[in-house]
Structure 1
Amino acid sequence: MERGSDEAPNKSCKDVLKSKSIFGGKVVIFGGDFRQILPVIRKGSRQQIVNASLCPSYIWYHCRVLRLIRNLRLTIGQPSADIEETKKFSKWPIGIGERKVGGPNEGTTKIELSDDLLIEQCDDTIIKIIQFVYPDILNSSQDPTYFQQRGLLASTNEVIHEINDHLLEFIPGDPVKYLSSAPAAKSDYTDGNADPTLYSTEILNGLKISGLPNHKLILKVSVPVMLLRNFNQKRAYAITLGFTLFL
C-alpha cells in the first residue's frame, strides 16, 4: 500500500468537504497485510520501500488497527483437535515474520521445520506434492468442489507450468492442444523499417508473461479453467483470451 495513493485522496476529501479532519471526516478502511504487500520502488533500497508504505505516513497516526482473531473458513464445522492445530500453525509463520522463531537475528537465522512440512526423499518431488494436495484425483476430478478446496503456490511461473503439466497427466482423457494467434502490431515509434526478426513469431510465442497464458495451452475435458482477462471490454461477449489450469 503506497502512501502517496492514500495521501492524495485525503487532501481531495478535505478540499471537497471543506474539513480539516482526515479524509474530510469520512471513515476509510484499509485492508491487507503490510508485511506481505509492500510498495514497488524501482531499484529502491529497503529504507525507500519502507518509507513509501502507509506506516510512516501521517495518516497512520489516525488509524485504528483491527485484527482478525478467528479463521472462520478453517474452523467452522471442524473437530476441536483440527482447530487447535490450525491455530498453532497460524502462529508459526507470523512468529517467523516477527523474528520470534529461531532466536534473535538480524535477517539471517536457522529455523527448524516440523516433520509434517517436509517432503520425504523420493524420485520426483512435484509428483509427491501433487499426491499430497490432490489425493485420489482420478476419482474426484469430476467433483467441482474438489479443486476449489485445494491450491498450490510457487515462487516462479516456470514451476507453476511444470506442476500444471504433471497434474494434467493425472486427469483421465485425451489432451487437446490450443495455440494462440496474435500477430505483432507495428510500433508507433518506428518508421516501419524496423528489423522484423526482432518481433518474429518464434520470439512472441516463447514469451511467458505473468497473468497471461502461454502460447501453447493443453486442456482436457472436465479440466477446470479460470478466465484471466477480457481484452475487448467494448464487446464483453467476445472472450478473446485467457484460460489456464486452476490449481
Structure 2
Amino acid sequence: MQHRYVFECLDRSLKDIMKAVDPERYAMPFGGITVVLGGDFRQILPVITYGDHADIVAACITRSRLWSICQVSPPRVCNLPVTENQILISSQFCDVQTENTVDNMICSTYPNFSHEGHSTQYLSERVILTPTNQTVGHLNSLIIDKLPGESVSYFSVDAVEEFGGTDEDMNKAFPIEYLNSLNVAGMPPHDLKLKVGVVVMLMRNLNQTLGLCNGTRMIVTKCLRFCVKCEVICGTFVGSKHFIPRMELSPSNTKMPFKLYYVAISRVTSPTGLTIFVDDESSATTNITRNVVYKKVFYGLPEA
C-alpha cells in the first residue's frame, strides 16, 4: 500500500494538467478523472522506516483528505477472528522424520529433494519465505548442507566511500572486520557459500534483454573462482545459462522511505500448496499465531 502522500500528489498533478483543458476542473478531485485505487488494508500497510504505530496509521489513505470523496466497494466477509487465527501445519515431511521442526519445514517444502533437487521445474515451483535475514541465513545453510559436494565461499570486499578523513583515520573508524560483520538489508552476507544445485536470486539488473533482472531465480551449475555459472529457472528465458560475475553493490539509504512488496499467501492458488511454520516464544511448534492488525486503519470503512 502506498503512502497517502502519493495519492495526494497524483491529485494535485491531475488538477494542474486538467486546468489547461477546463479551468473549472482544477477544483474537482483528480481533475475530474475517475481514479480506481486498488489495495487491501488487511494485507499491506504503508512501510515507514523506523515508524511507530501512529506513523504507519497516519500514512494510510484513510487519513487523507481524499478519503471523504472515495467510494469504497463492499468488503469481503472474513470469518477469521481478529485476535487469533488457526494455521494448518502440513504433516507431509520427507522420507526420514526428524525432531528438528525447521528441518521438517524444509522437507515439507522440498519432498524427495535428493531425487528431484536437480529438476529446474521442481525448484521453480517451491519457495520458503521468511520475515528476517537471520532466518534466511539459517535456512540457506541447512539447505546447502543437504546438497552433495563441497561448498565454495565467496567473500565480499567491503569499503567505505566518501570519508572525509585520511585512509588511516578511515581504517581506525571502520575496521575491515567491522565492515565484514555488518548484515545490511538488500545485501548478501560477507561469506556467501554456494554449491552446485543451489537456487540463487539476482540482486540487480545485469541484462534485461536476456532476462537477467533483479529478482531472477537461477540454479548454480558451476562455481568458478571469479564468477558463477547459473541456469535461469523461471520466466521467459528459463533454461538459458549465464556467467554471473562479481559486482559492486551499495545499500539504499535506509533512513529514507522505501517501497515494500510482500504479498505471499494471497498468491497461493490452493490450500494444499501452502505450508506455514509457526513457533511460539519457547521455539516450540504451534498452530496458533497472533493476527496483528492496526484496527485504527479500519475506522471509517463500511461495515460488512
TM-score interval, normalised by the smaller of the two chains:
0.5 to 0.7
Q: Which residues in structure 2 correspond to 1:141-152 (within 5 Å)?
A: 141-152=117-128
Equivalent residue number for residue 202 of structure 1:
177
Moved more, 21-30 or 60-69: 60-69
Cα distance change on mapping 1:44 and 1:221 into 2, 3 Å: closer
**Partners of 1:195 and 1:223 in 2: CA distance:** 37
**Partners of 2:183 and 2:5 in 1: CA distance:** 32
Asked whether the 8 Å contact 1:230–1:241 carries over to 2, the reply is: no
Residue by residue over 1:169-190, the C-alpha shift from the partner in whole angstroms, topping out at 9 and shown as x without a partner, is 1222331111112332241xx3
Identical-pair percentage: 31
Whether 1:161 aligns to 2:137 is yes
5+ residue gaps in structure 1?
A: 70-90, 100-108, 243-247
Higher share of residues assigned helix:
1
**Partners of 1:206 and 1:170 in 2: CA distance:** 26
Cα distance change on mapping 1:160 and 1:68 into 2, 3 Å: farther
Asked whether the 8 Å contact 2:158–2:180 carries over to 1, the reply is: no
Asked whether the 8 Å contact 2:15–2:31 carries over to 1, the reply is: yes
Equivalent residue number for residue 13 of structure 2:
12
Asked whether the 8 Å contact 2:158–2:176 carries over to 1, the reply is: no
Equivalent residue number for residue 186 of structure 2:
211
Equivalent residue number for residue 160 of structure 2:
184
TM-score normalised to the size of structure 2?
0.56
Offset at 1:148? 2.3
Asked whether the 8 Å contact 1:41–1:49 carries over to 2, the reply is: yes
Asked whether the 8 Å contact 1:230–1:240 carries over to 2, the reply is: no
**Partners of 1:23 and 1:60 in 2: CA distance:** 12
User: Which of 102, 108, 113 in structure 2 is aligned with 1:126?
Assistant: 102
Q: Paired residues, what number? A: 203
Equivalent residue number for residue 59 of structure 1:
66
RMSD: 3.6
Q: Answer 1 or 2: higher relative contact order, Cα 8 Å, separation at least 6.
A: 2
5+ residue gaps in structure 2?
A: 20-24, 207-212, 214-243, 250-304
**Partners of 2:160 and 2:205 in 1: CA distance:** 19
Asked whether the 8 Å contact 1:229–1:241 carries over to 2, the reply is: no
Q: Which residues in structure 2 correspond to 1:165-176 (within 5 Å)?
A: 165-176=141-152
- Aligned to 1:35, the other structure's residue is in SS state coil
